[in-house]
């Protein structure tokens, strides 16, 4: 009989202990999912015990690594693997509100950066492109412009420019010496050449000409210091791209003239026409004829422009 009563006796389970164990398991699972970006169930405030210690302080999200413009923020970019929580810093609550610093990871995750963000830096709304913007270069190129990748060694002064610096792209090339020789030959072939004409010819600037290839170009991605390919990505007005690529392919001497980085509006594309190397000599190559005229009692020969039909 005693044996039967002993078999019926069972160990009682502590319901409070079971509840605690279940809660710990659930929180651990949700915390892992939250940290890896698989859920957004409101656990963003579980930074650490120090967050609740001082009501005058509040956490702000920090970047864990250096981030590039056009990069979409994923969980590893703001995750602290050592502390196993989102990377944050405690700041004065009033300062955070005044500076519009972002304190919730959910307000950072999935956003696309509009400018570089070094490691251990807080985020503000101005760091991001508008919500829904595409990632990569596509979201960084202003409307009406196109991206062009350039080796900075091909353009003098380009390597020292930073993100969103604006500049004009100038091409300088030597003038064909044959043009000047042909102009002198045309002048010498005349029956009479005045001293003024000879001075005018000798005063023409020789040697090189300049052409404005692109106005208001802008750096949208700098060369990566650790990369073997030192390339810079530029935003150039669509109408200026063809001439720029042709000059690069031809190996022309290119220079950049920096503009103001304070401008918010991108300047209009270049409307300047390429400088015609023959333009300074056109007065020599126009149709003309020699005529004899009297100046007082002296008979002189002058070159005059032919009338239509002559």
Same domain? For 153 and 260 the reply is yes
15 falls within a domain: no
Q: Quick check: is 246 in a domain?
A: yes
64 occurs within a structural domain: yes
Residues 105, 220, single domain; the answer is no
Q: What is the pLDDT of residues 196-240, one digit of tens each?
A: 777 776 766 665 667 889 989 999 888 765 555 678 899 999 999
> What pLDDT does residue 137 have?
85
- In the 8-state DSSP scheme, what is residue 62? B
Cα pseudo-dihedral 139, 142, 145, 147, rounded to 10: -40
pLDDT at residue 111 in the model:
95
Residues 267 and 200 placed together within one structural domain of the fold? yes
Domain membership of residue 290 (yes or no) is no
C-alpha angle 285-276-170 in degrees, rounded to nearest 5:
160
Domain, as residue range, for 239: 141-277
Q: Judge whether 22 lies within some domain.
A: no
Q: Is the domain of 124 the same as that of 169? A: no
Q: Residue 44's pLDDT is what?
A: 41
Considering the domain architecture, whether residues 265 and 149 belong to the same structural domain is answered as: yes
Among 83, 103, 135, the domain-final residue is 135
Whole-number Å distance between alpha carbons of 164 and 216 = 11
What's the pLDDT tens digit per position in 195-205? Answer: 777 777 676 66
For residues 160 and 255, membership in a common domain is answered with yes
Specify the CATH number for the domain of residue 125: 3.90.1210.10
Q: Output b/e per residue, 132-144; b: 16+ Cβ within 10 A.
A: ebebbbebbbeee
**135, 169, 185 - which closes a domain:** 135
Q: Is residue 301 part of a domain?
A: no
Which residues are registered as beta bridge partners of 148? 234
What residues of the chain score a pLDDT lower than 70?
A: 1-18, 20-53, 174-181, 188, 190-194, 201, 203-209, 224-229, 259-310
Domain count, the chain: 2
Burial class, 61, CB count within 10 angstroms (exposed 0-12 / middle 13-18 / buried 19+):
buried
Cβ of 40: how many Cβ atoms within 10 Å?
A: 13
Residue 9 lies in a domain: no
Task: Give me the residue label for tokens 């103001």.
Answer: 260
Closest to 80 (Cα-Cα) out of 33, 43, 122, 120: 120
Same domain, 37 and 127: yes
Residues 146, 114, single domain; the answer is no
Tokens at 43, concatenated: 């656990």
Q: Are residues 178 and 104 part of one domain?
A: no
Domain boundary among 112, 135, 158: 135
Q: Are residues 123 and 248 in the same domain?
A: no
Question: Would residue 87 count as lying in a domain?
Answer: yes
Are 191 and 108 in the same domain?
no
Q: Provide the whole-model pTM.
A: 0.56
Residues 148 and 267 both lie in one domain: yes
């Amino acid at each position: 009989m005693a044996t039967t009563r002993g078999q019926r006796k069972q160990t009682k389970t502590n319901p409070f202990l079971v509840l605690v164990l279940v809660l710990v398991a659930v929180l651990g699972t949700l915390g892992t999912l939250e940290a890896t970006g698989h859920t957004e169930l409101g656990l963003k405030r579980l930074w650490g015990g120090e967050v609740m210690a001082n009501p005058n302080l509040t956490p702000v999200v920090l970047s864990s690594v250096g981030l590039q413009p056009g990069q979409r923020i994923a969980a590893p970019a703001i995750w602290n693997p050592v502390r196993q929580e989102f990377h944050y810093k405690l700041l004065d609550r009033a300062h955070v509100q005044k500076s519009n610093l972002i304190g919730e990871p959910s307000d950072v995750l999935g956003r696309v950066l509009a400018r570089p963000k070094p490691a251990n830096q807080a985020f503000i709304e101005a760091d991001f492109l508008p919500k829904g913007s595409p990632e990569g270069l596509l979201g960084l190129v202003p409307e009406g412009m196109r991206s062009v990748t350039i080796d900075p060694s091909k353009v003098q002064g380009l390597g020292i420019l930073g993100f969103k610096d604006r500049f004009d792209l100038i091409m300088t090339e030597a003038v064909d010496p044959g043009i000047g020789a042909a102009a002198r030959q045309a002048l010498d072939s005349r029956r009479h050449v005045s001293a003024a004409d000879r001075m005018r010819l000798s005063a023409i600037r020789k040697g090189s000409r300049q052409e404005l290839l692109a106005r208001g170009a802008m750096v949208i991605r700098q060369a990566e210091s650790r990369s073997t390919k030192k390339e810079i990505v530029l935003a150039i007005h669509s109408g200026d791209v063809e001439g720029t690529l042709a000059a690069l392919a031809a190996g022309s001497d290119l220079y950049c003239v920096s503009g103001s980085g304070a401008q918010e509006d991108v300047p209009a594309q270049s409307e300047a026409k390429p400088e015609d190397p023959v333009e300074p000599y056109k007065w020599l190559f126009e149709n003309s004829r020699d005529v004899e005229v009297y100046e007082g009692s002296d008979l002189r020969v002058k070159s005059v422009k032919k009338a239509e039909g002559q």
